[in-house]
């Protein structure tokens, strides 16, 4: 399975990647935030099969690594985007960490900006 960097280096628009114990479906996307079209790195699905490894900081570690990668190595991205958050626990986790909530159609989605659009 691909890694975050191999996906970012590829020509693929979307792909499953492995991050520690998680299988993560990611996408190179575009979304509108505050009327501006942003080039985003989308996290569409996270699956951690072993329940003992859930809620142990895997997502937080991945976001830290992604922010670093997208700031210094893959700087065409303006934001991280997490779509269709399905649990209140995870939605509250994102809110507490300053993610910007989008107007939900069915399930809430969240942005975290990396840099201002130039």
Domains observed in the chain? 4-113 (3.40.630.30)
> Is 67 in contact with 113 (CB distance < 8 Å)?
no
Place of tokens 């201002």: 116
Give residue-wise pLDDT tens across range 85-108: 888 888 888 888 888 888 666 667
Please report, to the nearest 10 degrees, the dihedral formed by the alpha carbons of residues 29, 78, 71, 114 taken in order. Answer: -120
Q: Dihedrals φ, ψ of 9, to 5°?
A: -80, -15
User: Distances in Å between the alpha carbon of 28 and those of 14, 22, 54?
Assistant: 6, 19, 25
Give the residue with greater pLDDT, 64 vs 87: 64
Give residue-wise pLDDT tens across range 74-88: 888 988 999 888 888
Place of tokens 């922010």: 67
């Amino acid at each position: 399975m691909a890694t975050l960097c191999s996906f970012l280096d590829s020509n693929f628009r979307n792909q499953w990647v492995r991050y520690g114990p998680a299988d993560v479906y990611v996408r190179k996307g575009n979304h509108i935030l505050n009327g501006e079209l942003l080039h985003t790195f989308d996290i569409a699905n996270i699956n951690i099969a072993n329940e003992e490894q859930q809620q142990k900081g895997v997502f937080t570690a991945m976001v830290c690594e992604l922010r670093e990668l997208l700031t210094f190595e893959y700087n065409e991205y303006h934001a991280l985007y997490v779509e269709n958050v399905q649990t209140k626990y995870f939605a509250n986790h994102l809110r507490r960490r300053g993610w910007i909530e989008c107007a939900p159609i069915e399930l809430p989605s969240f942005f975290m900006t990396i840099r201002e659009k130039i």
